[in-house]
Structures are given as structure tokens and as C-alpha cells.
Amino acid sequence: MKMLSSFAGKSPWLYRINAGSCNGCDVELATTAIIPRYDVERLGCQYCASPKHADIVLITGPITARVKDKVLSVYNEVPNPKVTVAIGVCPISGGVFRDSYAMTCSLDELVPVDVNVPGCPPRPQAIIEGIAEAIKIFGSRS
Amino acid sequence: MPEILKLMLEVLIFPGGLFVLVLGLLMKGLERKLRARLQRRVGPPLLQPFFDLFKLMQKETTIPEEAPAGLFQALPLAGACSMAFAAAMVPIAGAYSAPKELGDLVVLFYLLAVPAIVLMLAGSVSGSPFGAIAFSRELSIMMAYEAPILLVLLSVAIRVGVAQGGWIALSLNDIVQYQMQHGAFLFDPLMWPALLSFLLFFPANLGIAPFDIPEAESEVLEGPMLEYSGPLLGMFKMMSAMKSGVVVGLGIALFYPNAPAGVLGLGCFVVKCVLVSSIGVAVLRTSMGRMRVDQAFWFLLKWPGILGALSLAAVLWRH
């Protein structure tokens, strides 16, 4: 069992949730951090299309009133053990949207956040560092 | 009693079950590494599919509320078991000849259809709309490739059967034996249409680009597997790994089984599998986009169909 859990950290699958983001962080995630140039597949990562396959959840954007419940229900679909990474400054404080009427709460009031990657948007290197940090946490949790 | 024991060993350890699983996962790992190198990436380690499988075994299993729990859990198991049996029915020249008790080419043909049926049922049973889309896609692709592969199997079986004095040889052992004595069909121009037809069939059957339509990640969110998590998803991964071993193994047995006896023969088999998965699958996956389902349907019905009919006609005409 011990040996099995040491393998788990080598295969973290990523899932993205856009919680009302302006798409800046999503572009950084999808086209910069995960394209061949930066290659997180070398860490064993793989984007998965279904939340049921995910290990590490990447959440971007402020939590707007429209998506709050949906974010929570998709987050609850992810089977345990899981790790949450907040990408960008929006999930922390709301960023440029902080005084908006559509903002409800910061991400850590909604779900437990393990790693914060601040930036507007964060650099690809920062995102990869955040994912590497999350992989360590995932390995210790399983 | 020892007969039963031997059969069980053949289905569970070698060449079914464990052996074909390890082979399939290694092929998958090599293909992912090569694909990464072709895109000038570093890529995952060679053993990545094993890590994925070990991790999935420790994750939580979730069952959707709408799904009947029994069927939902039984499907991946049925798929993996059918492939373990199918692997025990494919002879490895010089190292292993399939026991008669497991059945002949016809049974193997039916077993090869089981994973597709399992995936279709899994998609529709999970209660997800994406699963339903995957169901219809998988069904239409399957309708298109089943007929050509039957023509290919028939032309090879009739070719060997007639040469042996009967009219059809339904035992894969006979087909392998015949080629060991008279040369592989790979070098026989008469069989090239059948070979081409098989080469078009195998990416469709294994869900490799451009035919990875039912499991398309970006469109239907991996379709049938969408609602599966943890060990059940791992079982599906095992099924597809074993299936790639079985289908490539069947191709080797049908067209180029020639190998020296003993452990060397086994080595030859593994090298051939690895060559097919690296050159064929990795290059296909990197160089091809994904077809639309109607394009793939007509393509698969037309070209492998024509080639298969051509090879059957050639074989019948020759005798």
C-alpha cells in the first residue's frame, strides 16, 4: 500500500474550472502552460475532460453569483483524494473585479484551497511551479 | 483437473491477463513518449501508464445516482475479462499455441466486439448525455468496421484452408503453422489488399486518431468513461491496454507470425508489437486530426470494405 501511494504522485491529472474568469488565466493555462513548449506531461500530468477523472483542480476567476453553486457541484464531483489550486489573483481577492456586484466570495470561503498562484495573469513558469507544489501535496495525501 | 489449471494459467497469466496487460501498457507508454519526442517535448516517463493505473486503484469510486449500480460496476470487469480470454486465443509463433478448448477464429471475432459493446453500454447506463452521444458514435463506427474485418479474416482463413485441402481453416494455430512453412502473407502480393484493410481496421477498433471519435476528449468528454472514476476507470484502462495487445497480436498472427522457437519467438513477438505501436500508432496520433463521425463511417465502409472484398475475390479466384 505504501509503495502504491508513492506512485500516485507521479500521475496527477488536471481539471480546469472557470469560475467567471476573464479568460486571461485560462489562455495562460490552456495555451501557454500546457502546450509542448512548457510540457507538464513530463510530470505525468494529463488534462482530463471529466471531473470524475481529476486529481488536481485548477480554478480560475472570481466566484460570480451565477457560477457559485455550479463550481461547488463540479468540485464535489471530483473523487478524493484531491488538491485545489487557485490560479490568478481573482480567486484570492477578486482582482480587477473586487468591487463588482457580481462577486460573491473568495474561493477559500467556498472550498479548501491548497495552493495559490497569484498574478494577473500568472506567468506559465509560476503556474507550473504551482502545479509541482500541488503534486507534492497530492502525493502526501494518497 | 490439470487441464483446467493450465487453461486458467493461460487466460490469467500468460499470454492472457498479466502478460498482455504489461505488454499493452508498455506499448502505450512508448507511444506517449514517442509522441512527445515527435512534438519536441520531453514527455512522460516510459512507465507512465503503470503509474496512472496504480493511482486510479487508490481513488474513490463514485456511482451516479441515475445508474444501476450492479451493471455500472460489472461492465468494466466484463470488458477486461473478455480481453484476457481473447489474448489467450491468439497464438505466438514458436512460443505459444492457443488451446482448442477456448474456441476458434469465430469466437475471437465475437470477443473482439465485446469492448465496443461494453463501452456503448457504459456510456448509456451512466445517465450522462455525453455517454448517449458516445453510444451512437461507437455504434456507427462499429457497424462500419465489423464487415471489412470479417472479409479479411475470411480471406486469410479460406486461403489457408484451401491450401490444406479443406475449404476454410478456422484455427489461428493452422494459419500460423501454414505461414511458418510457406512464408508470411506479408510478402505475398495476393494478400496485400487484406493487409491494407486490416491496417485501416486497427486504428478504428483501438480508437486511435483519426478514428478516436467515440472517446473524443474535446467534444464528448471521453464519452463512455465520463462518469467512471477510480478502480472502475482503471479497469477500462486495463481493457484498452489488453485490447491493443490482442488486436496487434492478431495482426501479427494473420500476416507475419514467423519467428524462431522458444524464448526468441516471444522476443520477436514483443519486438513486432512495439514496432507497430511506436511507428504506427505514435505517428498516426501525431500526424492526424479527428474525422467527423459521418466521414469516418463512409471511409471505413468504403476503403477497407473494397479492399477486403478484393482480397476475398483474389483468394477465391486463385483456387
CA distance A135 to chain B (A): 13
Cα(B123)–Cα(A117) distance, integer angstroms? 36
Interface of A with B in 51-80 (CB under 8 A): 52-53, 55, 77, 79-80
In the block, cell 459521418 appears at B294
**Enclosing domain of residue B10:** 2-318
Mean pLDDT of the region B251-273: 81
List b or e across B177-188, with b for residues whose CB sees 16 or more CB atoms inside 10 angstroms: bbbeeeebbeee
CB nearest to A49's CB, from B48, B221, B228? B221
Tens-digit pLDDT profile for residues B148-188: 888 888 888 888 888 777 777 788 788 877 887 887 777 77
Q: Quick one: which H or E segment has residue B226?
A: none
Residue of A nearest to B220 (CA): A49
Q: Is B226 on the interface with A (CB under 8 A)?
A: yes
B41: helix, coil or strand?
coil
Given A39, A44, A50, which is nearest B222 (Cβ)?
A50
Greater model confidence, B173 or B237: B237
pLDDT of residue A115: 92
Q: Do B217 and A52 touch (CB under 8 A)?
A: no
Contact B223, B133 (CB under 8 A): yes
Nearest-CA neighbor of B108 among B89, B131, B132?
Answer: B89
Q: Which residues is A79 bridged to in the sheet?
A: none
Give the pLDDT confidence score for residue A85 in this predicted structure. Answer: 92
Q: Does the beta-carbon distance from B62 to A79 stay under 8 Å? A: yes
A7 contact residues in B (CB cutoff 8 A):
50-51, 54-55
- Count of domains in chain B? 1
**Residue A34: its pLDDT value, please?**
63
pLDDT score for B3:
79
Judge whether A11 is closer than 8 Å to chain B, CB to CB.
yes
Q: How far apart are CA B250 and CA A116, in angstroms?
A: 50
Is residue B134 classed exposed, middle or buried when 0-12, 13-18 and 19+ CB atoms within 10 A define those classes? buried
Cα gap B261→A1, rounded to integer Å:
40
Residue ranges of the alpha helices (H) in chain A? 2-8, 24-27, 68-77, 90-93, 107-110, 124-141
* pLDDT (tens digit per residue) in B186-211: 777 777 888 888 888 888 877 777 77
pLDDT for B217 equals 64
Per the prediction, chain B carries an average pLDDT of: 82
pLDDT of A84: 92
Domain of A86, in residue numbers: 2-141
CA distance A93 to chain B (A): 31
CATH number for the domain that contains residue A11:
3.40.50.12280
Name which of B48, B54, B233 is nearest A4 (Cβ-Cβ). B54
Confidence of residue B133 (pLDDT cuts 50, 70, 90): confident
Task: Write the ipTM.
Answer: 0.85
Report residue A115 as a C-alpha cell: 495552493
Smallest Cα distance from B64 to chain A, Å: 10
Q: Tell me which chain B residues have a C-beta less than 8 angstroms from the C-beta of A14.
A: none
Rounded Cα distance, B73 and B231, in Å: 10
Per residue in B68-125, pLDDT tens? 888 888 888 898 888 888 888 888 877 777 777 777 888 888 888 888 888 888 888 8
Shortest CA gap A75–chain B (Å): 13
The β-bridge partners of A64 are A103
Is residue A117 classed as helix, strand or coil in its secondary structure? Answer: strand
| CA distance linking residue B94 with residue B114, whole number of Å | 28
Place of cell 468591487: A99
Q: Give the span between the Cα atoms of B122 and B124, in whole angstroms.
A: 6
What's the pLDDT at A141?
Answer: 79
Backbone phi, psi, residue A89, to 5°:
-85, -20
Contact A80 B60 (CB under 8 A): yes
Q: Strand pairing of A103-105 and A63-64?
A: antiparallel
Q: pTM here?
A: 0.86
